Amino acid sequence: MYPIGINTFLFDSPFTNQSISWFHKFAQWGFDTVEIAAEDPLFLDGPLIKTALEKHHLKCTSVAAAFGPDRDLRGTPEQQQASIKYIKEVIDFTKAVGGEFVVGPLYSSVGRADAVSSTDYAMQEEIVVAHLKELCKYAEAVQIKLAIEPLNRFETDFINTCEQGLKLIEKVGSNSLYIHLDTFHMNIEEKYLGESIKKAGSRLALLHACGSDRGTPGGDHTNWNEIKEALSAINYNGQLVIESFTPEVKVIAKAASIWRTIDGSGENIARGGLKFLKEQFA
């Protein structure tokens, strides 16, 4: 059985020191881990949050990084430097809360999706690879790992598939860089989810388990048996994290185009998804 986590975007944005009040409920519902979305890490008290996690017998294995227009490793020089600074801050925060991975679309701002020439793409890739090499060294120095997340075509034009992510990882050439897959994005971009998971193999750091409509995992058309078999085939030992959204968390709802209530409240999604994942992956 894999540890099952909940991403804080389902309930709060931005996550603040006061957001630790959710930990009691997460533990009560039966979650093993909390994936903190660290939008403003400089305003977060790592030791305070770590103590709160321990109080409720929870872990924060992964910290999700968020990339608005001002944070872009392939953007303007100012955007690149802002992104580097931010990712280093998230690495430091992850270390402070006892985490292991910084995850997300580390390579670009979310929503930047344009048709570019192969020449322009190669130039952007060269810039991203150079920055990721620097960031991997920074992360490795404090024993933290990075994991890049492919996003669907409507959210990025840069890394959409597992195969693209693995090629980028190979070019960076660091043992500290992994891939992070999300069943919602995979449902749009991958032909066969199980085959992509197998392709990721030992480089798979994290799987976001989401419904195909961004709702509750299990209440959708996703082939969860195929996913289970693939994870078993690669001897996956990471966590499954529910990352779904509701219209109530307005900033994230707008960014993720959540215009309607999909599966009721955040609690309904969290508890229903947890029940399904425990049964499916037992």
Backbone angles phi, psi at 55, to 5 degrees: -60, -35
What average pLDDT does this structure show over 166-177? Answer: 98
User: Which pairing describes strands 240-242 and 204-208: parallel, antiparallel, or unpaired?
Assistant: parallel
Residue 37 DSSP label: E
Determine the pLDDT at residue 264. 78
Residues of the domain holding 78: 4-280
Please check the confidence at residue 257 and state whether its pLDDT lies above 80: no
How many domains does the chain contain in total? 1
Confidence of residue 252 (pLDDT cuts 50, 70, 90): low
User: Which pairing describes strands 62-64 and 101-104: parallel, antiparallel, or unpaired?
Assistant: parallel
Of 149, 155, 189, 190, which residue is the catalytic one?
A: 149
- pLDDT one-digit tens code per residue, 200-244: 999 999 999 999 988 899 989 999 999 999 999 999 999 999 998
Please check the confidence at residue 260 and state whether its pLDDT lies above 80: no
- pLDDT one-digit tens code per residue, 65-100: 999 999 999 999 999 999 999 999 999 999 999 999
Determine the pLDDT at residue 253. 56
Confidence of residue 250 (pLDDT cuts 50, 70, 90): low
Please check the confidence at residue 193 and state whether its pLDDT lies above 90: yes
Residue 68 DSSP label: -
Question: Would you call 126 a catalytic residue per the annotation?
Answer: no
Please check the confidence at residue 191 and state whether its pLDDT lies above 90: yes
Complete DSSP assignment for 174-196:
-TTEEEEEEHHHHHHH-S-HHHH
Determine the pLDDT at residue 15. 96
3-state secondary structure of 81: helix
Please check the confidence at residue 142 and state whether its pLDDT lies above 90: yes
Give the chain's length.
282
Of 100, 189, 190, 243, which residue is the catalytic one?
A: 243
Determine the pLDDT at residue 90. 98
Tokens of 233: 């085939």
Rounded distance between C-alpha atoms, residue 109 and residue 54, angstroms: 33
With a threshold of 0.85, does the pTM exceed it? yes
Q: Within the chain, where are the H helices? A: 23-29, 46-55, 77-96, 118-141, 162-172, 183-189, 193-200, 224-233, 250-255, 266-280
- pLDDT one-digit tens code per residue, 9-53: 999 989 999 999 999 999 999 999 999 999 999 999 999 999 999
Question: Would you call 78 a catalytic residue per the annotation?
Answer: no
Confidence of residue 254 (pLDDT cuts 50, 70, 90): low
What does pLDDT average to over the chain? Answer: 95
**Sign of the dihedral defined by the CA atoms of residues 241, 242, 247, 249, in that order:** negative
User: H or E stretch including 207?
Assistant: strand 204-208
Determine the pLDDT at residue 246. 62
CATH number at 229 reads 3.20.20.150
What average pLDDT does this structure show over 161-167? Answer: 98
